[in-house]
Amino acid sequence: MRDQELWTWHIGAGAVILVLLGLHMTVMHLEAIVRVFNPAPGEPVDWANVVARGKSVFFLVTYVLLLGTALFHGFYGLRNILFELNPGPATKKTLSGLILVVGLALFVVGTWAAWVGFTVARGA
């Protein structure tokens, strides 16, 4: 894929992150005002609230979407910073491959954890 297209996706991912991370911050830090996402008493990170959110298909989908967009945005940004330091063509290719592998591995781990959390919460 051409870099121009990747750059456009980078900006688009930033807009998606702005919305989804705004929602995440609201859920995790504005629980005193917006209680609907945390039905159990206590903190948003208390297990009962984690299970309550974990049952929701909406949270499963938005977690995975946020995970994917944030990983792409972050690792593509890292690649840009490294490429600005003028590495040679071979180093660029190695860095691109390494960043792709690490990004995909983290996406698999995060998606697996979200899915297992969802099935555990549904079974609870």
Partner 1 sequence: MIENKGRPNRLGLKGWLGGGRWGFERYLYTLHRVTGLGLLTYFVMHIGVTASRAFGESAWVAAMGAVKGPLFSVGEYLVFAAFAFHALNGVRLGLVELGFAIGAPIEPVYPYRTSVDEQRPLAIGVMILAAILAIVGGIGFLN
When asked if residue 122 is in the footprint of partner 1 (CB under 8 A), the reply is no
Alpha-carbon distance of 17 to 19, in angstroms, equals: 5
When asked if residue 45 is in the footprint of partner 1 (CB under 8 A), the reply is yes
When asked if residue 26 is in the footprint of partner 1 (CB under 8 A), the reply is no
When asked if residue 41 is in the footprint of partner 1 (CB under 8 A), the reply is no
Cβ neighbors of 101 (< 8 A, separation 6 or more) are none
When asked if residue 27 is in the footprint of partner 1 (CB under 8 A), the reply is no
Phi, psi (deg, nearest 5) at residue 69? -70, -40
CB of 100 to partner 1, least distance (A): 15
When asked if residue 70 is in the footprint of partner 1 (CB under 8 A), the reply is yes
- The residue from 29, 35, 93, 122 that contacts partner 1 (CB under 8 A) is 29
Phi, psi (deg, nearest 5) at residue 54? -65, -25
Q: Which amino acid is at 15?
A: A
When asked if residue 83 is in the footprint of partner 1 (CB under 8 A), the reply is yes
Q: DSSP of 26-69, one letter per residue?
A: HHHH-TTT--TT--SSS-TTSHHHHHHHHT-HHHHHHHHHHHHH
> Please, are residues 107 and 79 in contact by the beta-carbon 8 Å criterion?
no
Q: Which residues bind partner 1 (CB under 8 A)?
A: 3-4, 6-7, 11, 14-15, 17-18, 21, 25, 29, 45, 47, 50, 54, 67, 70-71, 74-75, 77-81, 83-86, 106, 109-110, 112-113, 116-117, 120
